[in-house]
Amino acid sequence: MRHYKQLTYEQRCQIEAFKKSGFTQAKIAVALGVSQSTISRELARNSGQRGYRHKQAQRFALWRREEARKVTKLTPELIGLVEDKLAEKWSPEQISGWLLKEHLILLSHERIYQHVWTDKARGGELFMNLRRHGRKYHKRSNGKTNRGQIRNRISIDERPVEVDAKSRVGDWEIDTVIGRGHSGALVTIVERVTQFTLSAQVENKSAEAVTEATIALLKPYTAALHTITADNGKEFAYHEKISKELGAQVYFAHPYHSWERGLNENTNGLLRQYWPKSTDFKQITQGEVDAVVCDLNNRPRKTLGFETPEDLMDNYLAAQAA
């Protein structure tokens, strides 16, 4: 059995000092002799609106420890809150984090899953709001690409190290989501640090249509734009035009290396909750796309300390304009 130790008050003092000195999470973890995930979890759970402060973090931790001893009952009011958010396609982890942050209610995501499965056993359909409806994810097998080579493509190997480190806002991933029988498509673009999403409906995935949509989507965000990373689809053949119009370099991932654009792949999965593979995207309006993207950008994300992508992007753009 593995044993976990809580961070001490002294360690929280050190974390604050290291952060102010510009240490990365990895370096802080080494200095304190703990795992990087421990530091990441500590910063996500115990930071306030003014960032990480050791006294506040200690109060949060002590309060959470005390609350963990209590059993949170699923009252009708709480069930209503949970089911409302499930209907908005929030994950149990997002709901759990939101309840703690906004309502100071400690309800684990496991307990929410239990409620969903109990509902399913009784013939309910709450499980249909889960991303994969409870099905396991099966990885695609590797293979050789049969796609044509894009002219003058620049490999992800040449991409600046700041992109991998996520040390700045302005590095985006791009992809397309295809409709049934290749009828229509969505262009999806996600910023790596804020997880802010943009999307547009296109009649087809031709290079002309995708290029036009990409430029239109990103034009308002050039203050937060450094690079774009795409896969090797021919719809990105006009990458040089995109770079020229937006002033951002386009890089290409290795074939069948979907994890190199993992955030975009994950976002496409979220969109499939609304539009499964049987969807004819020619029947979807841009207004419907905008509404779904608005939902995604206003969901609190666990990886963002339960902040929302829209708030983070708005704050960044406001700071750039100041």
Residue at 18: amino acid letter: F
Please report the pLDDT score of residue 5 as a whole number: 67
Please report the pLDDT score of residue 313 as a whole number: 95
Please report the pLDDT score of residue 176 as a whole number: 93
Question: How far apart, in whole angstroms, are the C-alpha atoms of residue 155 and residue 159?
Answer: 7
- Read off φ and ψ for residue 3, nearest 5 degrees: -115, 135
Q: Over its length of 322 residues, how does the chain's per-residue pLDDT go in tens digits?
A: 344 567 899 999 999 999 999 999 999 999 999 888 889 888 988 888 788 999 998 888 887 777 665 556 778 889 999 999 999 889 898 898 888 888 888 888 888 998 898 888 888 889 888 876 655 545 554 444 444 578 899 999 999 988 988 889 999 999 999 888 877 899 999 999 999 999 999 988 899 999 999 999 999 999 999 999 999 999 999 999 999 999 999 999 988 888 888 898 889 888 988 988 888 888 889 999 999 999 999 999 888 888 999 999 999 999 998 8
Q: Which H helix or E strand runs over 185?
A: strand 185-191
Distances (CA, A) of 37 to 33, 41, 54, 259, 303: 12, 6, 18, 20, 11
Residue pLDDT, tens place only, 193-218: 999 999 999 988 899 999 999 999 99
DSSP string, 20-57: HTT--HHHHHHHHTS-HHHHHHHHHHH-BTTB--HHHH
